[in-house]
Amino acid sequence: MSTDVVLDTPLVEMRDITITFGSVRALDGVSLRLFPGEVHSLMGENGAGKSTLIKALTGVYPIDSGTVVIDGTEHEFGTPSAAQAAGISTVYQEVNLLPNLTVAENMLLGREPRRLPGRLLGAIGGIDRRAMNRRAKTTLDRLGLDIEPSSTVGDHPIAVQQLVAIARAVDVDARVLILDEPTSSLDKDEVETLYAVIERLRADGTSIVFVSHFLDQIYRISDRMTILRNGRLVEERLVADTPQLTLVELMIGREIDTLRELDSRDPVVVSPDATPVVEVLGIGRKGALEATDLRLHAGQIVGVAGLLGSGRTELARLLGGADRADSGSVEVHSMRSRIRNPRQAADRRIALTSEDRKADGVVGDLTVADNMMLALQAKRGWLRPIPRSTRNKLVQEYITTLDIRPADPNTLMRNLSGGNQQKVLLARWLVTEPELLILDEPTRGIDIGAKAQIQTLVADLAARGMSVVFISAELEEILRLSDRIVVMRDHRKIDERINDGVSVGDVLATIAAGVRTEEPASHTPSTLDRTVAS
């Protein structure tokens, strides 16, 4: 985080902004200050008003009352192009590029340099491609990006496409750059590259609005933050003066006691002679996962930790039948079982929620109710439709239990926030009454309030006897929820231990070493051995 930002005169100041949609007041007198050369994080739960405030600044939404002042001059943006002309650009989470065009063509689309005045050539051509590539390269070099301007955008991974989108925004002389969840699809190294780009822009005096659900990223890159809750301004604070616990309290308030209770949970230790719900022996898949043993007991949460590509998701997909194992065996209640697809897994009361809810879970054009009933209907067979009374009762029960918003079962799935979509996907499998629930990144990309609700739900399910496999890239979540921790690296299990006194540092040290680390002093070898064996 930079400590050199001088808070003098704001480059942009939004004063008492109010926006109303029908009877709903989305923003209620919210103010925001952006200074040159700073990274400013906009914080709040889904529905807090972050997106609405961004759209007010960028001309997407008209403002009912309040003012936007840039360099001391009041502005009223009627369109996004008007905001862009004033130096305000946005890069959204979903990259909006044309994959069949080159990097340079995407960066200068609509602003292509021409050999002769465009008035003479009209729409018949005349684009100076050499000049276009040179200009694109100049901007890419300014950002420290080694990307070939003439290469096709669709040939690049999503991380590079994200950087091209930022370069396009910078090329229009953006003085304010809004980055909306820019790291949600990036791995650790790619995030570091983005950090380097942000640092260059900050050094050039660009004001950056950074929106992210990852608190470690907020504290790594941001100077100040504005915190919103329920469409209202809570506080503007320096990041360096705001402990994470304080930030969480300001953002969600009502959930902080819940998180403290989860942090204080004692691990559930299972008797060595207890029969597991599911036991896998040497399960593996060539190129995806080395032979792995795992015992999953009723009422116990097994957390799976590891870096991206460590084999976490591959393990989940084999357990849930999404991929077929080519070695090992699976026993359900001590009986050998064949699980070659999700249908067979569901028949054995095993449920898997995928890490990619958009690709593998959400059916955006169906309603909440339809999405929720898909797994149960598939399990029954399509020739045995679920009775309407049963369907309505189950849907309403889980909307209430999981606090799904809006509570209208006829809402289209695509219109829900990420956190509420995730709750619907959880409900989809809970209605099938699974004995083993495998959750692969169930809280990725959702706000802190929804995370707390889902974590509480997982703990409650285990307390009622369900066996849970919980996979997350956030080690704090793993440590908060898990009774046992499995550590993965290089597509194999390298450690398994009871979660009693284990720290983030312990897990990271195990991952770094690639071998088993010493157990915390609070454990005796016999306890550890019994736990792993069980």
Question: Binning pLDDT at 50, 70 and 90, where does residue 53 land?
Answer: very high
Any domain includes 168:
no
Q: Which of 253, 268, 288 is the last residue of a domain?
A: 253
Range of the domain at 313: 260-349+434-533
Any domain includes 529:
yes
Residues 278, 332: Cα–Cα separation, whole Å: 5
Mean predicted confidence (pLDDT) in 295-311: 92
Is 222 found in the same domain as 326? Answer: no
The most confident of 112-116, 209-213, 250-254, by mean pLDDT? 209-213
Could you give the number of structural domains in the chain? 3
CB of 238 within 8 A of CB of 224?
yes
pLDDT at 117: 57
Is 266 found in the same domain as 249? Answer: no
Determine which of 67-71, 262-266, 470-474 has the lowest per-residue pLDDT on average.
262-266
Residue 174 scores a pLDDT above 80: yes
pLDDT at 513: 81
Rounded to 5°, the CA angle 473-39-139 comes to 95
Is 464 found in the same domain as 328? Answer: yes
Residue whose C-alpha is closest to residue 71's, from 84, 87, 60, 82:
87
Any domain includes 355:
no
Question: Binning pLDDT at 50, 70 and 90, where does residue 100 land?
Answer: very high
Residue 523 scores a pLDDT above 50: no
Is 273 found in the same domain as 411? Answer: no
How do strand 39-43 and strand 224-229 relate by DSSP bridges? parallel
CB burial class (10 A; 0-12, 13-18, 19+) of residue 433?
Answer: exposed
pLDDT at 213: 78
Residues 131, 405: Cα–Cα separation, whole Å: 51
Residue 459 scores a pLDDT above 90: yes
Any domain includes 36:
yes
Any domain includes 126:
no
Is 232 found in the same domain as 376? Answer: no
Is 439 found in the same domain as 395? Answer: no
pLDDT at 4: 52
Is 304 found in the same domain as 248? Answer: no
pLDDT at 350: 96
Mean pLDDT value across the chain: 86
Residue 12 scores a pLDDT above 90: yes
Q: Which of 401, 433, 465 is the last residue of a domain?
A: 433
Any domain includes 2:
yes
CB of 375 within 8 A of CB of 321?
no
pLDDT at 247: 85
Q: What is the DSSP code string of 196-248?
A: HHHHHHHHTT-EEEEE-S-HHHHHHH-SEEEEEETTEEEEEEEGGG--HHHHH
Is 280 found in the same domain as 342? Answer: yes
pLDDT at 44: 85
Please write the tens of the pLDDT for every residue from 382-424.
889 999 999 999 999 999 988 888 889 999 998 887 778 888 9
Determine which of 32-46, 109-123, 367-381 has the lowest per-residue pLDDT on average.
109-123
Is 318 found in the same domain as 459? Answer: yes
pLDDT at 528: 26
Is 441 found in the same domain as 338? Answer: yes
Any domain includes 359:
no
Any domain includes 386:
yes
Question: Which CATH number do you get for residue 45?
Answer: 3.40.50.300
pLDDT at 116: 64
Residue 525 scores a pLDDT above 60: no
Q: Which of 433, 450, 480 is the last residue of a domain?
A: 433
Is 528 found in the same domain as 439? Answer: yes
pLDDT at 345: 94
Is 452 found in the same domain as 322? Answer: yes
Terminal-residue alpha carbon distance, the chain:
45
Mean predicted confidence (pLDDT) in 151-168: 89
Residue 254 scores a pLDDT above 70: no
Q: Which residue has the higher pLDDT, 300 or 476?
A: 300
